[in-house]
Amino acid sequence: MGTPQPPSGPIRRDDIVTVSEWRQRWRNAERHLEHYAAFVDRLNVFPVADRDTGHNMLATLHAGVAELGETSRSPRADARALVDGAVRLARGNSGVILSQWLKGFVEAAPDDGEWSVEHFRTALAVGARQARAQVAEPVEGTILTVADAAAYAAEEGDERTNFWPAVLEAAASALDQTTDSLAVLREAGVVDAGGQGLVLILQGLAGETARPPAIDRPMVLAGSPAEPVMLARPYEVEAWLMDPAAGPDRLKDDLSRLGDSVVVAFSDDRAVKVHVHTDLPHDVVRMLASAGRLRELHLLNMQSQVEEESGLHDGGGPWAVVPAKWAGLVRAAGFEPLEPSESADRAGALWLEPARPLRHAVGVSSLGGLLVALDHWWDVGEESALAQMLARAGRARQLVVERHPGGYRVADDGEPADTLGRVLDKIVGSLVDGKDGLLHVYIDADAEEGEVRHWEKALGAEARRVVGLPVWVLIVQE
């Protein structure tokens, strides 16, 4: 596979870096990573082959660099802004780890004046330690290994003029060795994606933007499996907690009991970003809600993402995370969907931020089940009753009514009905066997009042208006 050629740029190895130059180097690093983000995505097979490491790291770095703005402050204030932005919007396992690696630059920053080689040396050493310390179960042959190699080379180097070349050579060598460190990388014939991302950042930071990624071996990317690869822990949960009640070690322990790929990133004592892969997203959310003030919750269905990348289905997946086309529906249910930018995340994933206090997560397999579960989520306070409601929602039967120029049609029925009365007759008839079941009626928010009353009278149930409902009427029977 050919490697794309990066934008050309100056190679700088000055002993002293001014504050404005330091800021510019981070912008260079961001551009360098952006140029290769898709390349890094294709390397991504560990810990999950969801092909988003490059853009997760880019989104994280972009959030930090954006905080630098245009006005120079003190070196320490700039470094703190870089870290605060990165931690706040860190994406994915690699992004959260990267945000902690950046903390080395806060501890190493000069109080005033310029950055010297000694400051960068300290930053790389502290950053490597910080990144490793916040991972619950560090794995060798990953971004952590590359960070350690760069830090070791920085500490061992004697000549200032050889500082960045030594760091880059050590990082590239460690990256190349990751292929043989993990079986999944060896089988795919790739280096670690997170480690590659860090090498690119180091190259940009050093001014080495004319170098291609440090891999020149023939690359055999993992092919599409004949059958879906089922993930044992298919949900990625990220959250931003304010005023956490426990320290990082306690949070890591609690999350590790519910999943893996656990990373806990502190910006300061009052704010923490957590990341975990789990098969129990509802339990993770419950735990986090009790651990601090839950300001944001990001859920990603990695199983759908992996299958979409493999061409196995269109990525609709279970409704733990919904496609972007349901944004209006989810907003009406009390969430604010955060659509990722085209340049810094994958299309089709919907990041959700709760607009109301969160108690439980929902993962059901139908649109009707999702709406019913969301209704119960807010209305039922007692936990055992809520669990029963959610179980019923998962088994809910649904009828979809579509509107078209000729009138109405019950989905899958085939024959259109030219009047509302006829389509109601079909629906009521289909509900005879289970007429004692609890009915939920959801109707498009643009429906006229008279039409809403017709539905309510015929079905004996209140019709809830839903903004962005992709069908005209949805009837759910528990």
Tens of pLDDT, residue by residue over 223-256, are: 333 344 677 887 888 888 888 888 888 999 999 9
3-state secondary structure of 261: strand
Residue range 299-321: mean pLDDT, rounded: 52
Beta strands in 257-415 (DSSP E): 259-268, 271-278, 293-301, 335-338, 351-354, 397-404, 407-410
pLDDT winner (highest mean) among 213-217, 299-303, 417-421, 454-458: 454-458
Phi first, then psi: what are they for 102, rounded to 5°? -65, -25
Confidence of residue 175 (pLDDT cuts 50, 70, 90): very high
pLDDT digits (tens, 9 = 90+) for 157-167: 655 568 888 89
Cα 473 from Cα 448, distance rounded (Å): 12
Please give the Cα distance from 386 to 22 (Å, whole number). Answer: 53
Highest mean pLDDT among 26-30, 87-91, 225-229, 464-468: 26-30
CATH architecture under which domain 16-206 falls: Alpha Horseshoe (1.25)
**Residue 225 is encoded by which pair of tokens?**
């499996």
- Lowest-confidence range among 36-40, 105-109, 179-183, 390-394? 390-394
Query: In whole angstroms, what is the distance from residue 366 CA to residue 372 CA?
Result: 10
Higher pLDDT, 171 or 298: 171
pLDDT attached to residue 178: 92
Q: What is the biggest distance separating any 2 CA atoms in the chain, rounded to whole angstroms?
A: 86
- More confident call, 437 vs 185: 185
Angle, alpha carbons 124-345-135 (nearest 5°): 40
Q: How long is the chain?
A: 478
Report which residue type is found at 71: T
DSSP state of 258: T
* Residue 118 tokens, joined: 């000694």
Question: Which residues does residue 116 pair with via DSSP β-bridges, in sequence order?
Answer: 16
C-alpha to C-alpha distance for 402 and 400, rounded to whole angstroms: 6
Sign of the four-CA dihedral 48, 52, 53, 56: negative
CA angle 154, 165, 83 (to 5 degrees): 55
